[in-house]
Amino acid sequence: MNLVHNHRLRLYFGAVLISFSPIFVSLVHVDPTVSAFYRVFIGGIALTLYLLFSRKRFNFNKSVWFFLFMASIFFAADLWFWHRSVIYVGPGLGTLLANMQVFVMMIAGIFFYKQMPTRVQLFSVPFAVIGLFMIVGLDWNELKPNYQMGIIFGLLTAICYSSYLISMRQAQQNESSIIPIREVAVMSLMVSVILAFTAFYENESLVVSNTNDYLVLIVYGVGSHAIGGIMIASALVRVTTTEVGIALLLQPTLSFVWEILFFNKSFSMIESAGVIIVLYSIFLSSHRKARS
C-alpha cells in the first residue's frame, strides 16, 4: 500500500509511532512537563526547518490560524490534565479515562459532522474499551483520598484530546495538501510556548543535563510527535471521527506490548486477552463491511 495516498494506513501508522511515547518518556530523567515541552519543541523545529528548506509558506487564513491556536491550547491542556490524573488515580485508571476520547469522538461525529456510526462500530467501541480495561487494570490501592479529582482530570483529558483532534480537522477543511506538515509544525511550536510558561509557573527547569536524554528527546520529538502527528492529522478529514477514536486505542495497547518486548514486563492471560480484544475491535471498525 502507498502510505502517502492511503489515509487509513497513515492513521494507523501514526498511532503506532505515537505508541512509543511512553517508552521514550521512561528513558529520560526529566519531569513530565519538560519531556512534553521538548517533544513538541523539537518536533516543531524539525518540521519548520523542513518547510524552510522546501520553501513552503505559512500563508494560512484567519480561520486556520484560529483552529491551530485552539488545537495548541487543547493539546497542552490534554498533557497537563493527564499527568495530574495519574497522580490521583494511577496510570491504569488514568489511561482508561483518557481513552474515553473514543466516545467523545463518536458523539462529535454524530452532532458536528452528521457521521452516524455503523452497527459494527457501535459494538466495537465499548468492546474495545473493555479490552483496554483488561490491559491497564485497576489497582484500588493507587487511589488517593481525593481520587474524585483524578477522575475529573482523566475525563477532561479525554475531552481536551478529542477537542484537539477536531480543531486540527477543522484547520484542514479547505487544505488541498495531503500531508499537513505546516499545520502540525505551527501547532507544535504554539504548544511548546504554552508548556514553557507552564514549566516556569511550576518552577520546573527546562535544562537537560544528560546527553543521552537529549538524543532520546530528539528521536521522541521527530519520530513519535512530528511524523506520528502528521500521519494522524493527515487522516482526520478523510475518515470518520469514530474510526479515528477507535484507531487511537492502538496507542495504549501497543505501548503495553512494547513494555513486554523492551522491558520484559510480565503479563497475565487477562491482559493478553485485552490486547486481542482491542486489536480485533479496531479491525472490525476499519473493515470494509463496517464502512459500507
- Segments forming the whole domain that contains residue 60: 7-115+140-239
Q: Is residue 267 part of a domain?
A: no
Q: Is residue 275 part of a domain?
A: no
Give the list of residues 6+ apart from residue 60 with CB closer than 8 angstroms, or none: 68, 182, 186
**Residue 292: its pLDDT value, please?**
44
Tens-place pLDDT, residues 204-240: 999 998 999 999 999 999 999 999 999 999 999 999 9
Tens-place pLDDT, residues 72-85: 999 999 999 998 88
Q: Is residue 172 part of a domain?
A: yes
Residue 290 has pLDDT above 50, yes or no: no
Residue 89 has pLDDT above 90, yes or no: no
* Alpha carbons 87 and 231: distance in angstroms, whole number: 30
Mean pLDDT for the stretch of residues 182-199: 96
Q: Is residue 38 part of a domain?
A: yes
**Cα 154 to chain centroid, rounded:** 14
Q: Is residue 179 part of a domain?
A: yes
Tens-place pLDDT, residues 108-159: 999 999 999 999 999 999 999 999 999 988 666 666 777 888 889 999 999 9
Angle between helices 32-53 and 181-201 (to 10 degrees): 150
Q: Which residues of 147-156 are buried (b: 16+ CB within 10 A; e: fewer)?
A: beebbebbbb
Alpha helix (H) ranges present in 99-146?
101-113, 119-136
**Residue 5: its pLDDT value, please?**
76
Q: Is residue 122 part of a domain?
A: no
* Alpha carbons 43 and 263: distance in angstroms, whole number: 26
Q: Calculate the average pLDDT of the chain.
A: 90
Q: Is residue 199 part of a domain?
A: yes
Q: Is residue 69 part of a domain?
A: yes
Give the count of domains, the chain. Answer: 1
**Which of these ranges, 28-32, 71-75, 102-106, has the smallest mean pLDDT?**
28-32
**Residue 1: its pLDDT value, please?**
53
